[in-house]
Structure 1
Amino acid sequence: MKKTSLFIILLSTFLGSCQDTDTQKTISGLERKNFQQQVKGKQTDLYALKNASGAEVCITNYGGRIVSLSVPDRENQLQDVVLGFDNIDEYLAKPSSFGATVGRVANRIANGKFVLDGDTITLDRNNGEHTIHGGTEGWQNQVFDAEQPSDSVLVLRYVSKDGEAGFPGQVQVKVTFSLSEENALKIDYFAETDKKTVINMTNHSFFNLSGNPEKNILDHTLLVHADAYTPLNEQLITTGKLEPLVGTPFDFTRPISIKEALMKDSSHAQVQLAQGFDHNYVLRTDGNLSHVAAEVYAPTTGISLYVYTTEPGLQVYTGNMLDGSRIGKKGVAYNKQTGLCLEPQHYPDTPNKPEWPTTILDPGEQYTSTTIYQFGIQN
């Protein structure tokens, strides 16, 4: 009887601890159970990365999405600095790229077509006549296999089948998220293919360093280490030109608030087209991770963000299409310009621009890319 009673007590304790793991809230207020669901025959979940400094990054394997990212402000209070949702249902309800791992090819491909070795590849068109972020079956809408080898590391894997969204080749994908003790989130991308294809991955987090998405990001100061950007045509497709930043609202070669930049010339044709900023910057960092690609600072919290990347370009998007229709974490409506995206990547529509750095991946080769989001404090 004593052995049986002891077994029951231990079993109850074990089951209780399992329930606690599922129901316990993260630092940012998320509940793991709200992210556990069968999607496309696979299990979704929520994973929390933590460090000794108290920072936390919560990621779901649905789309490899960063759901929350909590870092200290100047008062040593943790602030959640990314937009996202409280449960998996909100991510499934309406296609979006909030916090997502984007692939096969980030950004737009004109007319959903490109030529590869003389063959015209026709893709799924999900942006009018064009393809954006890999089409309807882009990786932001797929369930990754997840492994968490430590409290600060998460590894996601996905197999993209030959012909998925029209792209050739079966691609093996691995994305590794690592949170350092210095509050740096490192994202390492890896891919291999069995057939010639194109790859251009990124992360599509919306940052709001105020920690309060009821406020917009217009007071954030931005510095981008670039001398040129890629202008758009009327359908938001890159024209193929590289335009200098000097004398334009796009000139962030010195720290300037987003509001001040927009006020330079709000009638600028490119600003009008995108209803703000939604443009790729041609970085001058040469893919060197020791060189800062971009810097952001929020005066209300003192939180700063430094972006490092091996990529040649950086898409800067000021959340112009957010319209309050999406209700995010803690019931906050995401209105226009309440999030800032900084997406390291190859230039948009590169498969149709052979003069630009290539996105082609051949069998036997490895696609690798690294982005680091380093958080700090300025007083």
Structure 2
Amino acid sequence: MSSSSIQVTQEVFGEIRTSDGIQPVTKFTLTNPLGVKVQLITYGASVSNVFVPNRKGELHDVVLGFDDMAGYLKPENPYFGSTVGRVANRIAKGHFNLNGIEYQLVRNNGDNHLHGGNVGFDKVVWQAYAHRDGKITFTHSSPHMEEGYPGHMFTQVTYTLTDFNELIIDYKALTDRPTPVNLTNHSYFNLAGHNAGSQQLLNHRIQLCANQYTPVDSGQIPTGQLASVDGTVFDLRSETLLGEVIEKIPGGGYDHNFVINDSKNKFDNRLPLVAKIWHSESGRIMELFSNQPGCQIYTSNGFPADGSLVGKDGTVYSTHGGLAIEAQNFPDAINQPHFPESVLQPGEVYHRTIIYKFSTQ
């Protein structure tokens, strides 16, 4: 037991080969007194498992992922549970101008740059430190011009599991040169269980605290407009059954950024409420709180239909099998002057927080 009420254990999860040799990958398990369990791996500073109870008290894993490193190293891994950066989401044509200097990043998503490039933060082994109070801190030092980004940037991600069934993710970053930064977690949730499939995901209800969203072009790059959700399939301000709206969306599902309302929630005055998700059959509820200005909702529209994406317990993950709900800055913010600031300056501290809170009804 740690000095807090959270029990922490660790084990070898696997290894990867890099230019520096073989690097071991460690899995940490955090367990609170209620039996809620969160498992983290040093590869990508990723969330690999989240076991939470249903209304009967039965624990099930509610995030998609893999059983071993072989799965996480597959090219078809859709960023399961990972910390994505240096810039999450898309940058148009992988290009931006910063202080009069033109930068060209790799184009790894059609014509655009996605989630930090070919070897983003999701594809490196982070250093880890287990605190005596049960927190786990991951660190990564990203050198100047890694994946084309300026500045040597130091990043720290701290995970905390509380006695109140909250998973808190705290991000901090420093840089020695101006550089764009946008960090988030890329977990895919299915509150019926990671192996429950698309039918159960479509039985989820969602409520999102967003009066606006950012329309996109054919390459999923924002047009620059902040559009009202009124009268559209993007109006999720009241409880909405996913199965009733998802097929009405061009592309067969959500892959859109929403502009989060800046309001405090009466149940948690630390951070604004971003979203709430219900699964009626299991009784599970997940609330998302964050100080990020936006939230990307992705309903795994691009998962292969041929059964080739095989995850934990031999589960085939297919279209609409999981919901990624990513609190972050707006896509392509570095190229959109009226979007929230995305550049971290030397001497500043980038600090963002995400809380996933689980309960039942």
TM (norm. structure 1) is: 0.87
Between the aligned partners of 2:358 and 2:134, the Cα distance in structure 1 is: 16
* Counterpart residue number, 1:218: 202
| Structure ranking higher in strand proportion | 2
Q: Does 1:144 align with 2:122?
A: no
Listed one character per residue, the Cα deviations across residues 5-59 of structure 1 (whole Å, up to 9, x for unaligned) are xxxxxxxxxxxxxxxxxxxxxxxxxx944x2214424321111111111111111
Contact 2:184–2:328, Cα closer than 8 Å, also in 1: yes
Return the letter of the residue paired with 1:335: S
Contact 1:152 1:180 in 2 (8 A): no
SS at match of 1:235: coil
Of residues 277, 291, 311, the one that matches 1:296 is 277
Runs of 4+ in 1 over 4 A off after TM superposition: none
Alignment of 1:262-341 (within 5 A): 262=246, 266=248, 271-272=249-250, 274-285=251-262, 289-323=270-304, 324-341=307-324
Aligned residue among 87, 94, 104 for 1:105: 87
Find the residue that maps to 1:45 and give its secondary structure: strand
- 1:189 paired residue number: 171
Identity of aligned residues (%): 38
Q: Deviations over 1:113-149 (max 9, x none)?
A: 0110111111011111110000001100011001112
Change (3 A) 1:100 1:212: closer
Structure 1: any 5+ residue segments left out of the alignment?
A: 1-30
2:226 aligned with 1:249: no
Q: Is the 8 A contact 1:50 1:151 kept in 2?
A: no
- Pairwise CA distance, 1:167: 0.2
Structure 1 position 152, deviation (Å):
3.2
How far apart are the structure 1 equivalents of 2:141 and 2:239? 41
* Matching residue within 301, 310, 326 for 1:343: 326
8 A Cα contact 1:192 1:367, kept in partner? yes
What does 1:116-195 correspond to in 2, within 5 Å? 116-150=98-132, 152-195=134-177
What is the distance in 2 between the residues matched to 1:210 and 1:241?
35
Distance change (3 Å), C-alpha of 1:200 and 1:286: farther
Q: Aligned match of 1:55 in 32, 36, 39? A: 36
State how far apart, in whole Å, the 2-side matches of 1:250 and 1:262 are: 10
SS state of the match for residue 341, structure 1? strand
1:37 alignment partner AA: E
Q: What's the offset of the Cα at 1:246?
A: 1.3
Matched-pair contact (CA < 8 Å) for 2:263–2:273: no
Answer yes or no: is the 8 Å Cα contact 1:74–1:377 preserved in 2: yes
* Map of 1:18 onto structure 2: none
The SS at the match of 1:79 is strand
Following superposition, the deviation at residue 291 of structure 1 comes to 2.8
Q: CA deviation at 1:354?
A: 1.3
TM-score under structure 2 length normalisation:
0.91
Higher helix share: 1
Equivalent residue for 1:71, pick from 38, 47, 52:
52
- In structure 1, C-alpha distance between the alignment counterparts of 2:257 and 2:38, rounded to whole Å: 26
- How far apart are the structure 1 equivalents of 2:277 and 2:262? 17
Q: Which residue in the other structure is 2:27 paired with?
A: 46
CA shift, 1:160, in A, is: 0.4
- Report Cα offsets for 1:312-362 as digits up to 9, x if no partner: 000011111112321110000001101001100000000000111111001
Find the aligned partners of 2:80 and 2:69 in 1 and give their Cα distance.
12
User: What is the DSSP-based 3-state SS (H/G/I as helix, E as strand, rest coil) of the residue aligned with 2:72?
Assistant: helix
- Corresponding position of 2:64: 83
Indicate which of 225, 234, 245 corresponds to 1:261: 245
Partner SS, residue 52 of structure 1: coil
From the CA coordinates, give the structure whose radius of gyration is larger. Answer: 1
CA contact (8 A) 2:63 2:194 kept: no
Any idea what the Cα deviations from partners look like across 1:277-329, whole Å, max 9, x if unmatched? 01000000358744311000011210000000010000011111112321110
Q: Distance in 2 between matches of 1:72 and 1:150?
A: 26
Is there any run of 5+ residues in structure 2 with no aligned partner, and where? 1-9
Match of 1:27 in 2: none
Instruction: Please give the root-mean-square deviation of Cα atoms over the aligned residues, in Å.
Output: 1.8
Taking the aligned partners of 1:368 and 1:199, their CA distance within structure 2 comes to 11
Output the CA distance in 2 between the equivalents of 1:32 and 1:87.
Answer: 12
The AA in structure 1 aligned to 2:126 is: F
Q: How many angstroms apart in 1 are the aligned matches of 2:156 and 2:62?
A: 25
Output the amino acid matched with 1:362.
Answer: Q
Alpha carbons 2:44, 2:123 under 8 Å: kept: yes
